[in-house]
Amino acid sequence: MQYETIRYAVRDDIAIVTMNRAEVMNALNTQMRAELADAVKRAATEARVMALTGAGRAFCAGQDLGAGANPGDIDLERLLRDEYTPMLEAIYESPIPTVAAVNGAAAGAGANLALACDVVIATESATFLQAFTRIGLIPDAGGTYWLPRKMGFAKAMGATLFAEPMTAREADALGMIWEAVPDAEFADHWWGRALHLAKGPTAAYAHVKRAIRESLNHDLTTQLELEARLQGECGKTRDFKEGIVAFIEKRPAQFEGR
């Protein structure tokens, strides 16, 4: 697929996916959603980490309300099922770590697009806004799934009912994101975090993602069984053997990753 609304590049085993509609604060339209889904799947075959960010002053303003038909004529159910679900599932199901580098405002579906990633790193001046009730809607793009899991029920309910902007520092304090970083340090910091993951044990990371996510639906016995099975698989990898040897030799491990 040839990309027109995003930029895609791979450097140091990191696939950098940049939403590139800065003139509309990277608002999501049909083409961008399709391109994002394609780029995320491509990244899983070409890189060891995927980083998602936005061009210009915003991360993503959510659905492009100025595109296409009269808002009242939009079939929102079809839109979410046919266009948002494939994009969000591609991110969530990616076997490699996914990092959202939130460089500015993340609103509506844009905020929830970030939350679909494994790790969210935001610049301190960034804001998160569940804007949906302002226009008579419920949170979508996975918002009703991720928010209570990341923030807890009470905070998720308040954030969605009141639809008030939240600073990156507030989001960090609530556990909604991994960390908020001073603006001057943001670019170097998120890149360093992504580079750390790119040098890590990719197979183990995939199992970490699965184990933590499935724990939300398991009782202890089921989760312990899953842990044992996945740990058994990790123990058969070259990365595990390399990690042990590196520990004994007191040197950094050189993980193969695949």
Q: How far is the C-alpha of 81 from the C-alpha of 62, rounded, in Å?
A: 16
pTM of the full structure: 0.93
**pLDDT at residue number 57:** 95
Rounded to the nearest 5 degrees, what angle is found at the Cα of 168, between the Cα atoms of 165 and 174? 90
| CB neighbours of residue 56 within 10 Å | 16
Torsion of CA 244, 250, 252, 253, to 10 degrees: -20
Which residue has tokens 């996914």?
A: 98
**pLDDT at residue number 73:** 74
The gap from C-alpha 252 to its chain's centroid, in whole angstroms, comes to 28
Strands (E), the chain: 6-11, 14-19, 49-54, 58-60, 98-102, 105-107, 119-123, 127-129, 166-167, 179-181
What residue type is assigned to position 234 of the chain? C
- pLDDT digit string (tens) for the chain, length 258 residues: 899 999 999 999 999 999 999 999 999 999 999 999 999 999 999 999 999 999 999 999 999 987 665 666 788 999 999 999 999 999 999 999 999 999 999 999 999 999 999 999 999 999 999 999 999 999 999 999 999 999 999 999 999 999 999 999 999 999 999 999 999 999 999 999 999 999 999 999 999 999 999 999 999 999 999 999 999 999 999 999 999 999 999 999 999 865
User: Domains in the chain and their CATH numbers?
Assistant: 6-198 (3.90.226.10), 202-248 (1.10.12.10)
**pLDDT at residue number 157:** 96
Beta-sheet strand order (sheet of 6-11): 6-11, 14-19, 49-54, 98-102, 119-123, 179-181
